[in-house]
Each structure stands twice: as C-alpha cells, then as structure tokens.
C-alpha cells in the first residue's frame, strides 16, 4: 500500500471483472499499466499470462512500492518500472516506434491528464492493431465519444467507477 499518497487502488472486485472480460486477450500480451499506483493491475496481468508489463508511475514513492511488490511476488522478468510522467513516457514510446497490446490507464480522478494521454495514444499509434486501451474513471461525467481513431466499444460500471474500453477503428493502424 502506498501510504500518504493520493493513490486510489482499483478495487479487487473491479480488477476481477476487468480480467474476466479480458480473459485470453492478456495471455502473451505486451501490457502497460499507466499511472500504476501500487502496480496491482499490472501484477494481475502478469499472473494471467501477460508476456511483459511496463509500469508507468510519476511518484517515486509509488514506483518504489511497485518494485517492492514485484520483488515480494518473486517477479524478476518481463517487467519494467518507469518513474516518469505519463506523457513523456508515451512520447518516448512514439519516438522508438513501440506498440503495445493493452494499455490500462487509471490516473487520479481529479487529474487533467485524461484527454492529453488519450490524444497522445491515438496520435502516435502506440496501440497494436488488435490492441485496446482501458480507462478507469468516474462514471460522471462521461468521457468524450472518441479520440481520433480511438473509439469506445464497451463500458462496465461498478458503483461510481467505470471502465471504458477503446480500440482502433477498423482499417486504421
């Protein structure tokens, strides 16, 4: 747990629902946990068969907790923890023409980073052709209907929290 930080962990119930929906899509996937907090979602992805997980977290303390949690779980391969702000990391990915299968994006609810991150993901084509972006956010207000070629295709609501699943519009890669 990241004490003293404004970290709102994804509930166990929501995380279980997420991975039940993703099911076999996680197996062998290159997964990115953006605004990773404690790293619980990315660690779950590894336990469900993800080939590699990149954890992106701007807080040094939270990044240290992710590293500790990985060590505690005995996970030493197939992971990378990046302690930088999410936009600079996404621009680095773009510069190096990196693509990933699944992005899980869960910033603090009051953050102003939602739209800039989504536009960066869409603009730089960081999502593999059959990939997806899953955004955890408050149920209200609803997110915009699309970000360029990145379109929502599914929503799951639990209480005040919602997961919105985005994919690239067919024919665009």
Sheet holding 150-158, edge to edge: 79-82, 52-56, 30-34, 100-105, 127-138, 161-168, 150-158
Residue in the structure block whose two tokens are 């039940």:
20
pLDDT band at 24 (very low <50, low <70, confident <90, very high): confident
Q: What is the pLDDT of residues 80-132, one digit of tens each?
A: 999 999 999 999 999 999 999 999 998 887 778 888 999 999 899 899 989 99
Per-residue tokens: 81: 């923890």
Name which of 8, 47, 54 is nearest 27 in CA terms. Answer: 47
Mean pLDDT (the chain) is 87
- Residue 34 in contact with residue 132, Cβ under 8 Å? no
- Residue 54 in contact with residue 82, Cβ under 8 Å? yes
Q: What is the pLDDT of residues 134-163, one digit of tens each?
A: 998 877 766 667 788 889 999 988 888 889
Q: Which helix (H) or strand (E) holds 135?
A: strand 127-138
Instruction: Give the pLDDT score at 148.
Output: 82
Q: What is the mean pLDDT of residues 7-13?
A: 61
What is the distance, to the nearest Å, from the Cα of residue 133 to the centroid of all Cα atoms in its chain?
A: 7
Measured CA to CA, the distance from residue 23 to residue 8 in angstroms comes to 24
According to DSSP, the β-strands at 161-168 and 127-138 are antiparallel
* The CATH number of the domain covering residues in 37-157: 3.40.50.150
Please indicate, yes or no, whether the overall pTM of this predicted structure exceeds 0.75.
Answer: yes
Instruction: Give the pLDDT score at 147.
Output: 82
């Amino acid at each position: 747990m990241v004490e003293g930080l404004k970290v709102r962990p994804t509930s166990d119930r929501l995380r279980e629902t997420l991975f039940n929906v993703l099911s076999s899509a996680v197996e062998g996937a290159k997964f990115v946990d953006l605004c990773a907090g404690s790293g619980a979602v990315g660690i779950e992805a590894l336990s469900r068969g993800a080939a590699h997980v990149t954890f992106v977290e701007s807080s040094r303390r939270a990044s240290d907790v992710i590293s500790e949690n990985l060590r505690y779980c005995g996970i030493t391969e197939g992971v990378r923890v990046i302690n930088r702000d999410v936009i600079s990391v996404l621009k680095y990915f773009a510069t190096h023409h990196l693509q990933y299968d699944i992005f899980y994006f869960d910033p603090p609810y009051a953050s102003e980073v939602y739209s800039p991150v989504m536009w960066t993901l869409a603009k730089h084509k960081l999502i593999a052709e059959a990939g997806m972006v899953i955004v955890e956010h408050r149920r209200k207000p609803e997110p915009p209907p699309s970000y360029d070629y990145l379109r929502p295709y599914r929503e799951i609501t639990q209480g005040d929290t919602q997961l919105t699943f985005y994919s690239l519009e067919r024919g665009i890669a």
